[in-house]
Structure 1
Amino acid sequence: MTSKIVPVIMAGGKGTRLWPLSRSSAPKQFLEFLGEKTLFQKTLERVSDRKLYSPAIVVTNADFRFLVAEQARAAGAALATILLEPVPRNTAPALAAAAIVAEARHGDDAIMQVLASDHEIDAGEAYFDCILKARDAARDDHLVTFGIAPTEPATGYGYIEIGEAVGNGAHAVRRFVEKPDRENAQAMLDQGGYLWNSGMFMLPVGLFLSELRQYAPAVLDAARSAVEKARHDLDFERLDEEAFARAPDISVDYAIFEKTPIAAVVPSPFRWSDLGSWDAVWKTGKRDEAGNVADGSTTLLDTRNSLVISRDIHVAVQGLDDLAVIASEDAVYVGRMEDSQDVGKLVKHLAAAARTSKLTETHPTSYRPWGGYTSVLNGERFQVKRLFVTPGKRLSLQKHHHRSEHWVVVRGTAEVTIGDRTMSLRENESVYIPQGEMHRLANPGKILLELIEVQTGSYLGEDDIIRIEDEFGRG
């Protein structure tokens, strides 16, 4: 048993609504938008008070496991465990598995707080006041959700109609309302008594599992079997795929909250956004006198109420109003701010064409358990990458059948193994790795190691890697 709140962070989403920065392989929770921390790291920061919280349980999928582990390490956040969903099954099965793990670790009277990893929240005094109210309401046997005070007739959120007070600053949930059209959203705001459904929860573990047993037994049975048959893998717990796949694909809202009579809502006046569109990013950003939000290498002239972000090239915008201009390393999005809710339609169009489908899937920067790499230049029989290796990490011992590599150290110290030789390289020093030669790269230092890698050969795909030895369990 613990008197502390057990955080459960949901970090498995693959949304592309913030394209071109967000891709299916690099979703928004792991990206820096307007600042130096990712949304996932900001979420970890909100549960870092060890007087209030136990270490977090993170639920994600196998594709993001090393991103989660590395970003938590960089943020200095100790995690209780990382649960890996083998197949996507929505929030009810994921939370059922997390609750079973929390019960085993902390007892059935533990309280768990469910947080999305991709929300932008002003975590000030008002926020933590709501957290304590929700905790106390959960201790009084309620399944608690957080309802955000609406600031506009938003059509991208579900709504909650609040009922009578049940104590501890919470109210009974009268009903949930699906995402409305603008007319109905405005009517709810005019009437009052409605809140945005934030998708954050405070749940007594034993009671939540009991409600699952009553209203969604197939979800609970599949999750329990998946946890019992889970496989430990490095810092991760892989839920059993066959068992987890039997769970219905259903949200916790539909499975439990719309059925249970013990749902409660805490009206929450803090600033919150699910950052579901570029206009939402603009609304949360710091605007200049002309109403613009800019980040990265940008110049704005005679431009108003616009969002301009660049991650590589310099972007100059002149004489325009109400635009979103987003430049990643390999793609640029330009659209009216009012249309940014529909970026998903554009992404589907790009994904359907062979020429542009990769732009929706992979990002020029790919992350690995040891660091990652950014694609700089591609040509016929050659490509250039920037490698970055985290202090204390090393790549697998490997070889390539079809390519040779040249490494130039830009920053830090590299420990390079080629065949039976091991050497140290410092800034501005280089080495050549012949095709077919066993080699390994490591960072023995205390700062990030950066290299430029030039690959040459007849085939340069990532699948031309023969791993002889790998501490991360990859084949």
Structure 2
Amino acid sequence: MTKVIPIILCGGTGSRLWPASRESYPKQFLPLAGDRTMLQATALRVADPARFDAPIVVTNAEHRFIVAEQLAQIGSRATIALEPARRDSGAALGAAVRLAALRDPEAAVLALASDHVVLDEPGFLEALARGLPAAEAGRIVAFGIEPTEPTSKYGYIRPGAPLEGAFGVSAVAAFVEKPAREVAERLIAEGCLWNSGNFLTRAQTLLDELERLAPGIAGPAVAAADGARQDLDFLRLDPDSFALAEAKSIDFAVMEKTPLMAVTPGAFGWSDVGSWSALWEIASRDADGNALIGPTAAIGSTNCYVRSDKHLTAVVGVDDVVVVATQDAVLVTTRERTDEVKAMVAALTARGEPTATSASLVHRPWGSYQILDDGARFQVKRITVKPKRRLSLQSHVHRAEHWIVVRGTAKVTIGDETRLLRENESVYVPLGVTHRLENPGVIPLELIEVQSGSYLGEDDIIRVDDDYRRG
């Protein structure tokens, strides 16, 4: 079997599964359907070295360290390509496919979303093997999912005539965009399949079709890949070239126009997890149909999805509801209306609500911090620094800081002095003084930081030296 280069698209705004998912930390980075995050599960699905070459993961610069950390945790040696701007899936895939072709001119590529669930991985690999001969023969092979219900949440593919020499693969007769339920019922009766949005093809096939059908995407995307430069462990696509790309999805740019589309059916437990209701459908449920995740409880309730990160969350006497409680926000809706969560996030964003897009727990390449309390002239954070990591050497114009170590050992630089702080020890960092925090140990360092001053924003940082090359 020819080795395939997986291309994993790792973008998105994270609004459909708010408040667990936010723009700053979207759903692919969360363990929503198992012990692994959705990105990790996707990467592991294509990790067999006998079948797959190292993947190419496309993400934005803001999420680059999260992607690198999560892939490192599972031992994935991926190429992480950074989008300079949002140009939809057409440009992202165009640049990634060009990178694959530069690696191997004869490469077959498998385009995958990082935030989909596949419950039957052997079934997925079987569909891949079935579609590969057609892909190598010059087709673009979509994975059509055998429908389990007549839903309007997905687009549909109408299979056409079977392809010669490619058992189980058919030409695509038509695409149908998210039909009304009564239309979906008819489509299923006629043998139509859900469009998973994932596909398999030769790299050069897709590049040729992009050039023919969407030159406004192809030229800039290829130039961005050709002009990419290495930055630490990342590959930055050329920003000037990428900015010229037309913003359009790969479906509209190529899939719905090319005569090369083919489809192979699959029944491998696929879901795009586009709503909390979709997560309820694939979750383990109790005898009353309730999916209870985290510190939760339910009495006299049926068919509910209740999830909590920390606080005990209980429901009594309700049916078909969704309750999601995080550190800083709570969502309550019915399972029938979870598709409206995206509209709620848009409304919250429009009125300037910060929790619409950002969580109280903020991830950084060195660890994370969480805001515990704040006021007019103070802010209290819990800071966690990973072993052998350190923050930038920095100073502040408007604030002073107190650090109190609660776990581990901190190496602290303040001005010209460097010292070690152990549990229950503290230090004061005066306003304007250059300082750095480092974890020299082998366990996470945890401390409480109390900031005081006239302005406490994250942009009040003057970096003198930074391991991660941030401005």
Structure 1-normalised TM-score? 0.95
> Any conservation in 2 of the 1:34–1:295 contact (CA below 8 Å)?
no
Q: 1:361 aligns with which of 354, 357, 369?
A: 357
Percent of residue pairs identical: 48
Secondary structure of the structure 2 residue equivalent to 1:200: strand
Does the alignment pair 1:157 with 2:140? Answer: no
Q: 2:284 aligns with which of 279, 286, 302?
A: 286
Q: 1:242 aligns with which of 236, 240, 243?
A: 240
Q: Give the Cα–Cα distance (whole angstroms) in 1 for the partners of residues 357 and 121 of structure 2.
A: 36
Q: Please, which runs of 5 or more residues in structure 2 have no aligned partner? A: none
Q: Give the Cα–Cα distance (whole angstroms) in 2 for the partners of residues 416 and 132 of structure 1.
A: 55
- What is the CA distance between 1:392 and its match in structure 2? 2.1
Aligned to 1:148: 145
Secondary structure of the structure 1 residue equivalent to 2:448: strand
The C-alpha deviation readout for 1:446-466, integer Å capped at 9, x for no partner, is: 332222222122221111111
> Any conservation in 1 of the 2:33–2:117 contact (CA below 8 Å)?
no
Secondary structure of the structure 1 residue equivalent to 2:159: strand
Distance 1:447 1:165, change over 3 A: farther
Secondary structure of the structure 2 residue equivalent to 1:406: strand
Does the alignment pair 1:26 with 2:25? Answer: yes
Larger mean CA deviation between 248-257 and 194-203 belongs to 248-257
Please list, as runs of the form range in 1=range in 2, the aligned pairs for 1:66-465 lying within 5 A after superposition: 66-79=65-78, 81-107=79-105, 109-166=106-163, 167-191=166-190, 193-354=191-352, 357-465=353-461
Larger mean CA deviation between 171-180 and 441-450 belongs to 441-450
> Any conservation in 1 of the 2:45–2:121 contact (CA below 8 Å)?
no
Aligned to 1:474: 470
Amino acid at match of 1:472: Y
- What is the CA distance between 1:383 and its match in structure 2? 1.3
- What is the CA distance between 1:219 and its match in structure 2? 1.4
> Any conservation in 2 of the 1:325–1:335 contact (CA below 8 Å)?
yes
Distance 1:404 1:295, change over 3 A: same
> Any conservation in 1 of the 2:366–2:386 contact (CA below 8 Å)?
yes
Amino acid at match of 2:269: R
> Any conservation in 2 of the 1:46–1:123 contact (CA below 8 Å)?
no
Q: Give the Cα–Cα distance (whole angstroms) in 1 for the partners of residues 356 and 26 of structure 2.
A: 11
Q: Give the Cα–Cα distance (whole angstroms) in 2 for the partners of residues 461 and 11 of structure 1.
A: 28
- What is the CA distance between 1:273 and its match in structure 2? 0.7
Q: Please, which runs of 5 or more residues in structure 1 have no aligned partner? A: none
The C-alpha deviation readout for 1:62-90, integer Å capped at 9, x for no partner, is: 221121112212232211x2111112111
4+ long deviations beyond 4 Å: none
Secondary structure of the structure 1 residue equivalent to 2:458: coil
Distance 1:52 1:412, change over 3 A: farther
The C-alpha deviation readout for 1:414-438, integer Å capped at 9, x for no partner, is: 2222222222233333322222221
Structure 2-normalised TM-score? 0.96
- What is the CA distance between 1:34 and its match in structure 2? 4.3
Amino acid at match of 2:389: K
Amino acid at match of 2:441: G
Secondary structure of the structure 1 residue equivalent to 2:339: helix
Q: Give the Cα–Cα distance (whole angstroms) in 2 for the partners of residues 190 and 132 of structure 1.
A: 27
> Any conservation in 1 of the 2:14–2:25 contact (CA below 8 Å)?
no
Secondary structure of the structure 2 residue equivalent to 1:299: strand
Secondary structure of the structure 2 residue equivalent to 1:288: coil
Secondary structure of the structure 1 residue equivalent to 2:284: coil
Q: Give the Cα–Cα distance (whole angstroms) in 2 for the partners of residues 442 and 3 of structure 1.
A: 46
The C-alpha deviation readout for 1:260-285, integer Å capped at 9, x for no partner, is: 22211110110011111110011111
Q: Give the Cα–Cα distance (whole angstroms) in 1 for the partners of residues 446 and 319 of structure 2.
A: 40
Q: Give the Cα–Cα distance (whole angstroms) in 2 for the partners of residues 117 and 286 of structure 1.
A: 22
Larger mean CA deviation between 201-210 and 226-235 belongs to 226-235
- What is the CA distance between 1:202 and its match in structure 2? 0.8
Q: Give the Cα–Cα distance (whole angstroms) in 2 for the partners of residues 4 and 443 of structure 1.
A: 41
Secondary structure of the structure 1 residue equivalent to 2:373: strand
The C-alpha deviation readout for 1:75-131, integer Å capped at 9, x for no partner, is: 32211x211111211111111101111111122x11111110111111432111112
Secondary structure of the structure 1 residue equivalent to 2:53: coil
Amino acid at match of 1:409: V
> Any conservation in 1 of the 2:221–2:245 contact (CA below 8 Å)?
yes
Amino acid at match of 1:389: V
